[in-house]
Amino acid sequence: QVQLVESGGGLVQAGGSLRLSCAASGSIFSDNIMRWYRQAPGKQREYVAAITSGGITDYAASVEGRFTISRDTAINTMYLQMNSLKPEDAAVYYCRLLQSQYAYWGQGTQVTVSS
């Protein structure tokens, strides 16, 4: 099985930066996709960004140009560098791994942005 653990969340002032990490452990296949999602209070969980095992990236329009997704295959860890943070970026950020016919969620890490 697979375990995903997010970290790096916290409180930051608007305009500031945070870097989130998602450490994957267990049976990680070489061919996979890792994604970031977020969910704010009272809102549905939304897609943020994705990266393939080949390093191809994709971003939601709301974060493109401000966030950068990356991964370190050697340690099965994905990152989300968040710059120019806005109050509307505040949410619980979740890591998701898709491989083969299975998908896994992490427990999430809280990001709070003060105005």
Say what the pLDDT of residue 75 is. Answer: 94
Which run of H or E residues covers position 38?
Answer: strand 33-39
CA 62 and chain centroid, separation: 14
Inter-CA distances, 87 with 16, 31, 80, 110, Å:
11, 35, 17, 13
Mean per-residue pLDDT, 23-33:
95
pLDDT in tens, 29-63: 999 999 999 999 999 999 999 999 999 999 999 99
Mean per-residue pLDDT, 9-34:
97
pLDDT in tens, 62-105: 999 999 999 998 999 999 999 999 999 999 999 999 999 999 99
Say what the pLDDT of residue 113 is. Answer: 98
